Structure formats: structure tokens, C-alpha cells
Amino acid sequence: MENGELFRVEHDTMGEVRVPADHLWGAQTQRSFQNFAIGTETMPEGIIRAFALLKKAAALANRDSGKLDEARCGLITAACDQILAGRWPGEFPLKVWQTGSGTQSNMNVNEVIAHLCARLDPSLPVHPNDHVNMSQSSNDTFPTALHVAAALAIREQVLPALGRLRDTLGRLEAENWEVVKIGRTHLQDAVPIRFGQEISGWRAMAEECAGMLAGALPPLEALALGGTAVGTGLNCPPGFDQAAAGYIAQLTGCPFRPAENKFHALTSRDAAVFAHGALKALAGDLMKIANDVRWLASGPRCGLGEITIPENEPGSSIMPGKVNPTQCEAVTMAAVQVMGNDAAVGFAASQGNFELNVFLPVIAYNFLQSARLLADAMDSFNRNCLEGLKADRRRMAEYLERSLMLVTCLTPRVGYERAAEAAKLAHREGLTLREAVLRLELLSPEEYDQVVVPEKMV
């Protein structure tokens, strides 16, 4: 006992270590916990879940090969099921900033599973290395956990949220299809556009990003498990990789498969870079949509004010009545974080030497944070902003009537230079475009009314 806390003595190949008696981890976890007191970022929950899945799959594959007895396999799978059920969240305390292979987190999971097995059946020893880590190495389990966690995050978090966002944009597109407004390029007036067409661009962004993310899944579904230390599969029975990947696929419902080249699977993180690139593309499109929304909603009296969005909370501590586009701001901040994460993932993937990348934990942390942020931000933006978006049709009609860029449709009749002359005259003297055209005698009133019809220009 020390400072009122009870300890038990655990040992590893380096000797004895005192471990808090009320925790399930062992000596190697404790060493990492003490030696890497860096930051507050702990290994993501998605990685722990993926480790529990692969440890269960490995136990089943080892049983099938005859290496692991049925009793120990049953204990290991039961312990993994407890972790997957979320029963032991406090047993995985290790920081992201540890060994670059993630060895200590692999051992953290091994030790917790072994201690859970001892609780389930104290009479049957289960060793964290010899049994839980059988036919495995940290060098192939962490890349496997990374791929499993990343693929599941895309499938279970990002794509469903993106689908909900797309559905809302599709509804808004249909509801506003007949609304004609002025388009804008370079933040300047342009030719008319349907508001539904403008929204269709947003909707297509969501669909394109969903396709990119779906295309990024197959490389992530190739698993390094079975490569062991350097890709040769030392200490791994024949067929283990196929069997283990098959069990992971069965447990998740996703088409995971063994990587064809284990040397590539251990040393390269190109699949994570590629997939995170799709997340960055989504972040870029969300940034654009959110910025469009807050520009169009700017005001309420001195901005564009072409749309209204829900007023969710007071916007100022000093200006009474002010309401800000806070959901747009949250989305754009999340997008900025994802873009920063992408740089970290790319740099980390370019590092490591020879048979192993040793930046695995930071890749995992940034990837899973990006997936979570984008999914949460999309759901919040959709629920608290887009679902309540309304077009101010009166304001849109006013801008459309005042726009000088309607002159574009006159170019085939009067030529580019005379059309520009009319636009400049109208702007200089505060005339309507119709008044300027008539003053320059470019068209008769009847001709103007026949040619300049915004609804025909979209």
C-alpha cells in the first residue's frame, strides 16, 4: 500500500512492477503508463474495439489450427466480448505518445484479456504473450487494428451522417427548384440561377464524397494480421491470416481480407493516407457549404439575407438580439482540424524505416478524430441548421430585379460592348437595366420585356 492505494506485484521480462490492485492491466502496461506521461490523449476507443475484435478472431483461428486449446479459446473470446460490450473502459489508459509501433497498447489489451480470463477461470492460466498474442506481433496487430477501426469509422459514423445530410439537401433542392435568384461568382453578381440548382451543387458534393469514401474502403479492408514481426509470418500457422481475417469479417459484417503482401502491409500506411484524403475532401466540401450558408444568411438587415436559418442561441454578450451562424462556424472549425490532421497523417505515413512504420498511434488518433468530428459536425449542422433553412423569396426577387448581369442575355442581340455600355450606365447613374437599355435605344420596351426574362436564363 502507498498513499492509501493498494498494489499487486506483476512481472515481465525486465523484472517486477507494482500495479494498482484495482486494475486489470499488467507489468508492460504499467511501465508504459509511467514512462510516457505525455499529453492527455489516450488511445482511441475505436482502436481498443478493433483490438478486441482481432484478438477474438486470432483466438478462433489459433483454435482452428490446433495451436490453442478450446478452453483457453473460450476464455479469450469471452473476455473480448466483455471489452466489446464496453464493460472495462478504464483499463486502457495508455497515451497516444508511446512507442511508434503501438506495442504497449497491444500488450495493454493482451494483459487485460489475460486478467479477465483469470477471473473467468482461475484454474486455467492464460498468458498475455503465449496465448492472447499467439501467432501475432504488435507489428501486424496494430496496423490491423488501425485498418479495422478506420474502416468501421467510415462505415458506421461518416457515411450514415453524410447520407442524412444528403437527404436534407435533396429535400431543400426539390422545395426550392422553382425559386429563381441571382447567381454570384467572385462574390460579384452573375447571371440568374435556380436556388434549387445552387443547392443541387451542395447535394452533389455529398454524393461525390460518399463515393470517394466508399472507394477508399477496399484498401483499408486488407489486413496485416499474419505478417507477425517483419512480414514473414514467423510463428504463424499456415492459413492463419485467411482464417483470422475471415472471423473479423464475420464479426463486423465487413469484407475484411488478408493483405496479399504482408511486407507492404507492415511498412506502408498508404491506405490510411488515401482514405483520410477522402475525409479531407469531405471537410473541404463541408467548409464550402457552411460558408455559402452563412453568406446567404448574413444580415439580418445589412447582409445578403437571401435565406434564414434557425436561431439557436444568443450570439453576443454585449449586443442584445444578435444571433450568429454558429452551426456554420462549428462545421468550419471541424473542417480546419481535419485538414490539419491530414497533414499529420501524411507526414507520419512517410516515416518509419525498413520493415515497419513507427508512427502508427498518431495516425490512428488523427484518423479516428477526423472521422468522429466530421460525423458529429454533419449531424449537428443538419439537425440544427439545414433542416430549418428557408429561402427569403422576396429578397431573392428584389436582388434579381436589381441585378445588372441580366444584361448577359442581350449580348446575342446587341453585342458584348453595347451590352457592357448599358450595364455601366445603369450602375453609374443608378438606373435599372431596363431604363439604361431604353435610354441607349438598344431595344424597344417590347423587345426588352421579351428578351430579358430571368426564368428563361436558368
Catalytic site residue from 105, 200, 316, 427: 316
Cell numbers at 15, concatenated: 523484472
Single-letter residue type at 134? M
Other beta carbons within 10 Å of 85: 9
The gap from C-alpha 417 to its chain's centroid, in whole angstroms, comes to 50
DSSP symbol at 431: -
CA 11 to chain centroid, in Å, comes to 40
- Give CA separation, 43 vs 96, 102, 265, 339, 362, in Å: 5, 9, 21, 21, 9
Q: Which of 101, 138, 186, 317 is catalytic?
A: 186
Alpha-carbon distance values, 254 to 54, 245, 249 (Å): 13, 10, 5
Within 8 A by CB and 6+ apart from 352, the residues are 100, 267, 269, 358, 359
CA atoms within 13 A of residue 73's CA, in its CB half-sphere: 14
The residue ranges of DSSP E strands in 186-343, in sequence order, are: 188-194, 222-223, 257-258, 307-308
Q: How far apart are CA 403 and CA 185, in angstroms?
A: 13
| Burial grade of 5 (CB within 10 A; 0-12, 13-18, 19 or more) | exposed
Specify the 3-state DSSP secondary structure of 43: coil
The DSSP H or E segment spanning 419 is helix 416-429
105 belongs to the catalytic site: no
In whole angstroms, give the CA distance from residue 433 to residue 448: 10
d(C-alpha 150, C-alpha 143), whole Å? 10
Q: How many CA atoms lie within 13 A of 44 on its CB side?
A: 23
- Under 8 Å between Cβ of 415 and 199: no
Question: Given phi > 0 = left and psi -120 to 50 = alpha, else beta, which region is 156?
Answer: alpha
Collapsing DSSP to helix, strand or coil, 325 comes out as coil
Examine the residue annotation and report whether 316 is marked as an active-site residue of this protein: yes
Residues taking part in catalysis: 186, 316
